[in-house]
Every structure is written in C-alpha cells, then in structure tokens.
Amino acid sequence: MRAALCLALIALVSPAVADDSIADQAQKAYAVFAGGLSQQDFLAARMGNKTFADIAGNWVRLNGPAAKSGIESYGTDTEKFCKGSAALTLDSPNPLTMTISTNLKGANFTQQYSLIAGSTFGEHTDPLPYLMALGLGPDKTGDTVDAQRALLLSLTNGIVQIYRASPDILVLTRDRGYPIVLARCPAPPATTPPTDANASSSEAPASSSASSSQVQ
C-alpha cells in the first residue's frame, strides 16, 4: 500500500514527459519500416543488412493480446517457449536470405526467405517436410486432406514483409493472417568452470613452508 502511494505521489510531482516530436516519431517509423535507410538504399536491396544483422540463434513466436481481456503475456510466453520444442532457429547466411528451422520432437522443416526488394521477401517452404511435420504426409489421402494441404501451402509460400522492430523482435506480415511476432530467446547464463579444490589446498602448505623458510 505504501509503495503504491509513493508511486502515485511521484507521478503527481514529476514533470510530465513531453511527447515525441513529429521528427522523432518519423525517425522511429523509418527505423522500423525502412531500416533507417535512405530511399535509394532501401530500393537497392540493402534492407537485409539491417533486418538480419546478428539474427542467428533461437527465437519464439509470441501470441497477441487475449481476445476478450486484452491481457498480454509476452514475457511469460518467451520464457516458457524458449525452454521447449517451440523454439525456432533463425539464421542468415547472407544479407539477402534468412532461414527459420523448427526444433520439434518429431519431423522438422525449414522455411527460407529471400529478399525481393525493399522489405519484401519471397517465402518458400518445402512441401514434404512441412506436411510431414503437420501429420499430413503422403500416407494421408482424401479430398479433405488434399484441401488442407493446399490451404497450408498457400499460407506458407508467397510474399511477406519482414521488419526488425528492435534487436530482439522480428515481425513478418502477409496479405492474409495475423502478424507473426518473433522474440529472441535469452542467452543461457554463463557457467564458471569449477575450481580445483585439491590444487588450492596443496598449494597453500607449499607457500606457507616457503615463507617460513625465507623468514628463517
């Protein structure tokens, strides 16, 4: 209760933070949607240098706000998904290409994104590995299954827009479907190699004896 009261008082006595100017807002917009590049560089297929910089590693797909409550759980989702098979491995062999690979317990697949122009990329998903991972391999037959395959492949092969909203957030948008927001998984904590207790204990007497002999 006291903490809440203190925060309320601080908010009342603190000067209001001025809104960003139009120039600041425009700079942020260009940073997200054009990588901060000039029009010439943007159209010259240099977007990948910004979008795919330092992108290698594991990322996870986040869910949007809850439909009714609007509550978001991005931090919890990131921590939970990064520890399991939902983590995706991103890589960029060159500034024109990005790959996303799954880490499922069973069959896996890779999607490739190739720069066309500006922030527009061509998305390609190999049908067989993708459908096998979804349980719609060649062993499944019938008109309903064929329709499902056609729909899924149409949604994962085509044109996408890719934006680097921040160093740890990547956004993919399509003509159809909700934006895909990927968050970088936190790096695992650094481990300190264990010290050799025997070596430390064996060195102590030697040092002590050497010091005593020098004193004598």
Nearest of 176, 179, 122, 121 to residue 151 by alpha carbon:
176
d(CA 104, CA 88): 9
First CA to last CA distance, the chain: 68
Say if 92 falls within a structural domain: yes
What is the CATH classification number for the domain harbouring 32?
A: 2.40.128
Q: Which two tokens stand for residue 140?
A: 């499944």
Kindly list the distances between the CA atom of residue 169 and the CA atoms of 21, 30, 40, 58, 124, in Å, as whole numbers in the listed order: 24, 16, 25, 12, 22
How many structural domains are present in the chain?
Answer: 1
Q: What is the pLDDT along the chain (216 residues), one digit of tens a residue?
A: 444 434 443 444 444 456 889 999 999 999 989 988 899 999 888 898 989 999 999 999 988 887 778 787 777 778 888 988 999 999 999 999 999 999 999 899 999 999 999 999 999 999 999 999 999 999 999 999 999 999 999 989 999 999 999 999 999 998 878 899 999 998 877 666 666 555 545 444 444 444 444 444
Is 88 inside a domain boundary? Answer: yes
Residues 160 and 173: beta-carbon distance below 8 Å = yes
Domain residue limits at 83: 28-121+158-186
